Structure 1
Amino acid sequence: MDCLFCGIVDGTVPSHVVLDEPYVLGFLDTRPLFKGHVLLVPRIHVDTLPDLPAELVPVLMGAVQRMASGVVRALGSQGSFVAVNNVVSQSVPHLHVHVVPRTKGDGLRGFFWPRTKYASDDEAQEYAARLAAALDPPVAP
């Protein structure tokens, strides 16, 4: 398998490492939205968030939480944008979480897709029920 991010994890592809932990690696995006844009990846290869073993979700999200705070402290940003793409718009098929420093007036404008509305509260409730019924049961901590 030729996975760019697996190459970064194993050190065969150069990167600017920001976070190096047993289960998570963080490095600068080579095409950042803004300077300081970090990608956090699990060291194991999984394509998407649903593929990540449940026991690694809090590990990865804990690293994301720390990085979201870190960009504020290190770069003086006012906040951060955190995002995960699953398949669609995922340029590298290895789970990665974007942590992008944000400052009011930085030029990034909200979400990049059209918004819609539910026709009624009944339609919204129908969607909510369908989604709730499709969820896997929670895993005990």
Structure 2
Amino acid sequence: MAGEPQADCLFCKIVAGDVPATVVRETETMVAFRDINPQAPTHVLVIPKAHYPDVVSLAAAEPALAADVLVVAGEVADQEKIVPSETGPGTGYRIVFNTGAGAGQTVFHAHAHVLGGRGLNWPPG
């Protein structure tokens, strides 16, 4: 059932505390932790505690929970000091949602990648 933990889901196991992760922020609805294969100096994953296979299914079922992903992503960016500022060290950040294997999604539990700490010109490469 949508939203329920899945026994074979790595991120559900992280939420349950069965798999270790370097948690940088946790709320009632979200967990944010460092990616084990970072693609930038700051690379944090923000996941809802409820299981949905991708961000589209999350947004369709629970729009407020999908919005929480973005709120927590912004809080993580601020905490990691990557928020752009005229007076601060942040240069900006990117929030990425991969949807489907062809787009690079490897764990089928909705999640946002918060990337920053270096130039992130588009297209990536």
- For normalisation by structure 1, the TM-score amounts to 0.69
Shift in CA distance, 4/40, structure 1 to aligned 2, threshold 3 Å: same
Matches within 5 A, 1:83-102: 83-87=96-100, 88-102=103-117
Deviation by residue 1:76-98 (Cα, 9 ceiling, x = unmatched)? 44111210011131011111100
- Counterpart check, 1:103 vs 2:118: yes
Which of these residues, 58, 64, 75, is aligned with residue 73 of structure 2? 64
Distance in 2 separating the partners of 1:50 and 1:102: 27
Counterpart code for 2:69: L
SS in 2 for 1:37: strand
CA distance in 1, matches of 2:65, 2:122: 29
Question: Which of the two has greater helix per residue?
Answer: 1
Contact 2:82 2:116 in 1 (8 A): no
Unaligned runs of 5+ in 2: 1-6, 84-88
Deviations 1:92-133 (A, max 9, x none): 1111100011334xxx552259xxxxxxxxxxxxxxxxxxxx
Larger Rg belongs to:
1
Contact 2:82–2:91, Cα closer than 8 Å, also in 1: no
Q: Which runs of 5+ in 1 are unaligned?
A: 114-141
- 8 Å contact from structure 1 (residues 19, 27) kept in 2: yes
Identity percentage over the alignment?
Answer: 29
The answer to whether 1:82 aligns with 2:95 is yes
Q: How many residues align?
A: 109
With normalisation by structure 2, the TM-score equals: 0.77
Higher relative contact order (CA 8 A, sep 6+): 2
Whether 1:54 and 2:63 are equivalent positions in the alignment is: yes
Q: Which residue in 2 is equivalent to 1:2?
A: 8
Q: 1:44-91 deviations in whole A, cap 9, x for unaligned?
A: 0001111111121222211112122222269x4411121001113101
